[in-house]
Structure 1
Amino acid sequence: MSTKAVDLNHKAIVFSDFDGTITLTDSNDFLTDNIGYGYKRRRELNIEILEGRWTFRDAFRDMLSSVGSKTPFEECKKLLIENIQLDPGFKPFFEWCQSNDVPIIVLSSGMKPLIRALLDHFLGAENAEKIQIVANDVKIHPDGTWEVVFCDESHFGHDKSRAIKPYREAREKLPKEKWPTFFYCGDGVSDLSAARETDLLFAKAGHDLITYCKREGVPYKVFHSFEDILRDVKDVVEGRKTTDEIAENR
């Protein structure tokens, strides 16, 4: 896994999950439910991950193998572009971040080629290029089948905390008054490793990340769309509120 050089010359940096957070529907869930072995088995494995009986890496590989073993990758990409929708609040959020020099870094357990294709579709290729993506990759075999290629050897497959760690370490070398504020936005089990790593965690209403935060005592702010995130990020960046004042579950 690699990231671009750490640049902390910003008031804030937003790290965000992609599937089910920036999009309304998780693209990997969509593929598993509609092409793979279906919703019932997928949800069973999500519960197994939350309860610690399966690793995310093993469960995610199992889900995607039920898709990649029978449907070509380009066909999956086309299907997602036709069916996945952007959170309606994300484009205004992206535009505000661009205007205020706040980088958005996507940390995803999905596959970079699919994420890039969807962002190009949603935002246009020129705008999409302004969003850094750290994600898993894909290996396409000669017979047309494909499989996920994980970022690292962790039981997450992509331990998102590892991508945030260089930013935290670099920030700690600066005087505290020069620290940018770090935000993380997520929704599900792939975000568990990142849940404690930033100054303010946004957790999507009705999803597994909130279940984890409540159980483990991790502070978070619930959101329904990026309209909520934009409001709170603006309040922090513009000095009206602190992250501690916004966070719940403290």
Structure 2
Amino acid sequence: MHGRSTPPARGAAVGTRPAARAALGTGTALAALLLAGLLGGCGVTDIPSAPKTVTVLVDPPSASASAPATETPVPTETAPSSTAVPTALAAGAQRGAPHSFAEAAARVAGAKPAGGVTSAFVSPSGNLRCIVTGGAPAPACEVVEGRVTPPQPGLCAPGGASDIGRIELRAGGAVPVCNGDTVTHADAPKLEYGSRTTAAGPVQCVSEETGVTCVDQAHQHGFFLARRTFVTF
């Protein structure tokens, strides 16, 4: 007779479950150790924080590193002087005026000498006064009435007279002066029309109804002066 199969012993079946649980526990432990190692290597503090803003100060470029600067001419203030003023000017009507040294010198030489009129004189009308020698700073003629408007800007210095009342005969040329003073005398002898001075120096003048003409033979310069007009050459 066939015998009945004997069921597994209770103890054997029970014995296999602790082994499985042991294997499962071992795998879990290994996974935990691996995770702990990874976390330990990275560190829990390695979680990225908010980005920080870093400000870097850079020195401005030096003058040598920048583009070359463009020079701006700075304008300079100049007062009228014998070197700054042109030696050939004309203003007003210029009626009867010579316009060159040669013409003026010929006119002076052709006039009759006036004895006794040497260092200073006045015109017969008294409106023109001249000093030929010993003048300060130079031989000059002045107009009493009918001062002359400057023919170009810059002839009169700021803050002073704005019109021309005197012409000075300097070594560098005949210079119009916007004067507020006088270097002549009203009581000087009269120089009649058509007559010239007899000064011993290089400066000679002739008096005419149209005005007074003076020349400097040493420096080849001269001028003509009358009411509201003048010419320098």
Q: Give TM class, smaller chain.
A: under 0.3
**Greater percentage in strand:** 2
TM-score normalised by the chain length of structure 2: 0.26
Greater helix fraction, Structure 1 or Structure 2: 1
Using the size of structure 1 for normalisation, the TM-score is: 0.24
Q: Which has the larger radius of gyration?
A: 2
